[in-house]
Amino acid sequence: MDTEDKIFQSGELEVIGRLVDASNASLLCTLPDNVKVIYKPIAGERPLWDFPDGNLASREVAAYYISEIGNFKVVPKTVLREGPFGTGAIQKWIETSEEADVITIAQSNDSQMRNLALFDIVINNADRKFGHVLITPENRIFGCDHGVSLHKENKLRTVVWQFAEELLQPAEVEQLNELLSQIDCKHLSTYLSEDEIDAIFERTKNLLEAGRFSSPNPNWPAVPWPPY
C-alpha cells in the first residue's frame, strides 16, 4: 500500500465545505498532505425506488474498480471508509478547467470521450450528465457521480451518444476481453449483488458480440434530465 492509499484509507477527514447543488450529501474534505476529496456518507443518501439494492457509495467504489482494472482510468480514486458521518465513499477532488467548454467537448469525437462512453456502457450508467464530465487544465477527462450505475437492467442514460453504433476498434475489443479476465467477483461482492455482478459480464459479452457501441434504448429515456 503506497502513501496515497494509506492516506485515503485511514487519514483523518476534515470537512471544509458542502456541495449545495448535489442531490445527496456531498462534503468537500481534506486529508493529510492537503489532499482534497469529496465525502459522500451513506447516511446522507436519498432512497431511489429503481435502485433498491445496496447504496450509492458502494456503486461509486465499484465503478472506480471497473475503471481501473478495465484500463479506462476515467474515475478519480475512490474508496469506501468511515468518516465523520459514518461509512461513505471518498473520491479524489479533481480541479477543473475554467476555460474548457464541457458541452462542446462532451459531444465531440474526442478519443477520451469515446473511452468514457465505452466505460458508461460497461457500468450501465443511468446518469451521465454534462456536469459529470470533468476536464482538467491539462485537458484530461474524468467522470464522476457513478452512484446510479451498475443496475442489472438496461438503464443507460447519457448525453454522450455520438458514438452510437460505431464499430469497436481492435484495441477496445482487447480492452474489454482483458476486463472480463480481470474481474474479481469476490471483491465486487463487497459492493454489488450477485445479479449486478453477473450483469457486468453479460453486458460486456453482449457488447463484444455486437462489435459496436450501444444505441439508445427505445423503452428508456436516453438522456438524463436535466442534462446538466
Q: What is the value of pTM for the model shown?
A: 0.96
pLDDT digits (tens, 9 = 90+) for 134-147: 999 999 999 999 99
pLDDT of residue 53: 80
142, 104 contact by CB (below 8 A)? no
pLDDT digits (tens, 9 = 90+) for 94-142: 999 999 999 999 999 999 999 999 999 999 999 999 999 999 999 999 9
Strand partners, 18: 27
pLDDT of residue 2: 79
Q: Which three cell numbers stand for residue 141?
A: 477527462
pLDDT of residue 1: 67
In angstroms, the Cα distances linking 36 to 7, 30, 77, 146 are: 11, 5, 11, 19
Please count the other Cβ atoms lying within 10 Å of the Cβ belonging to residue 63: 28
Low-confidence ranges of the chain (pLDDT < 50): none
Domains contained in the chain, CATH given: 3-210 (1.10.510)
Q: Environment class of residue 166 by beta-carbon count within 10 Å: exposed (0-12), middle (13-18) or buried (19+)?
A: middle
Residue given cell 465525502 in the structure block: 39
pLDDT of residue 104: 98
pLDDT of residue 23: 76
